[in-house]
Amino acid sequence: MTTFHASKFPVLIVGGTGKTGRRVAERLIARGVPIRIGSRRASPAFDWENPESWAIALEGVSAAYITYYPDLAVPGASDAVGDLARLAVRKGVKRLVLLSGRGEPEAQRAEQALQASGADWTIVRASWFMQNFNESMLLGPILAGEMSLPVSSVREPFVDADDIADIVTAALTDDRHVGQLYEVTGPRMLTFAEATAEIAKASGRTIDYRTITAEEFMQGLEQEQVPADIAALVNELFTVVLDGRNEYVTDGVQKALGRKPRDFADYARETAATGIWENAK
């Protein structure tokens, strides 16, 4: 493996407390690579809404992993990613790895902005994370025993966040990944109802799946007091992006790592063993 930076220079992980960011941080630390967490609460702080914070966070780093909050589907995300990438290059930080999303026009514009920045880039274009079922908004419905979503027969090749973290870590530390766009999925496609059923089986729970309208979904988010901008984003991901455009499996994990991606059944079994899905009652 070709390590491109001296160990005294940290890697900036933008979104270093998120699903993939914290996993990348753990892997780099295990390799002895110093890191800098890019978040509002970090020191120095990194805030997407405060461009003045970017230069300070980039100071003296060797590379950066870029994730955009709340999602690259948000209008204006590509402009922000492009601005950050160009700033990084001006400051001598050329190795940049971007987490992107499949089937999202704004995400693809962000990819283009990164590619045009002059950076030594790698893009990881990912499908829905398996971990959304235990580390995000879908955990609550599972614990409640009923998953209600505005999607029925559309299938999604859910990908493991650990597979993504392995690829990002490799891209940050090995020259062979420069200039590569890895579109990553799991090894098979599942509907959300089928994924819910696999979780029910693995956890020994009864979890019903119900298809609802987009209006009902938005009403539910409002009742849960989800901020309006986040609710609109989540609704778009379910009702626009999940229209069948991503119903295919890719070999991105195999290309990047030389191994097969983790299967959803393995994820469900291992996650159930942690007790996270046990009935809260």
Structural domain count, the chain:
1
What does the pLDDT average to over 82-91?
Answer: 98
Residue 50 lies in a domain: yes
Residue 94 lies in a domain: yes
Q: How is residue 164 written in tokens? A: 């993504």
- CA torsion angle for 270, 275, 276, 280 (degrees, to 10)? 150
What does the pLDDT average to over 225-234?
Answer: 88
Q: Is residue 46 very low, low, confident or very high in pLDDT (cuts 50, 70, 90)?
A: very high
Q: How is residue 147 written in tokens? A: 């998953």
Q: Is residue 127 very low, low, confident or very high in pLDDT (cuts 50, 70, 90)?
A: very high
**For residue 178, what pLDDT is reported?**
98
Residue 197 lies in a domain: no
Residue 142 lies in a domain: no
Residue 26 lies in a domain: yes
Is the model's pTM score more than 0.85? yes
Residue 31 lies in a domain: yes
Burial class from Cβ neighbours inside 10 Å (0-12, 13-18, 19+) for residue 45 reads middle
CA distances 247 to 131, 142, 156, 193, Å, are 19, 24, 6, 15
Residue 199 lies in a domain: no
Task: Tell me the percentage of the chain whose pLDDT exceeds 70.
Answer: 97
**Could you read off the pLDDT of 185-223 as tens digits, one per residue?**
999 999 999 999 999 999 999 999 999 999 999 999 899
Residue 45 lies in a domain: yes
Which amino acid appears at position 198 of this protein?
A: E
**For residue 240, what pLDDT is reported?**
86
Domain enclosing residue 123, as ranges: 11-130+159-187+246-262
The secondary structure element, H or E, covering residue 184 is: strand 180-184
The secondary structure element, H or E, covering residue 11 is: strand 11-14
Q: What is the CATH number of the domain that holds 82?
A: 3.40.50.720
What does the pLDDT average to over 266-271?
Answer: 98
**Could you read off the pLDDT of 142-177 as tens digits, one per residue?**
999 999 999 999 999 999 999 999 999 999 999 999
What does the pLDDT average to over 222-249?
Answer: 90
**Residue 30 predicted with pLDDT over 80:** yes
Q: Is residue 1 very low, low, confident or very high in pLDDT (cuts 50, 70, 90)?
A: very low
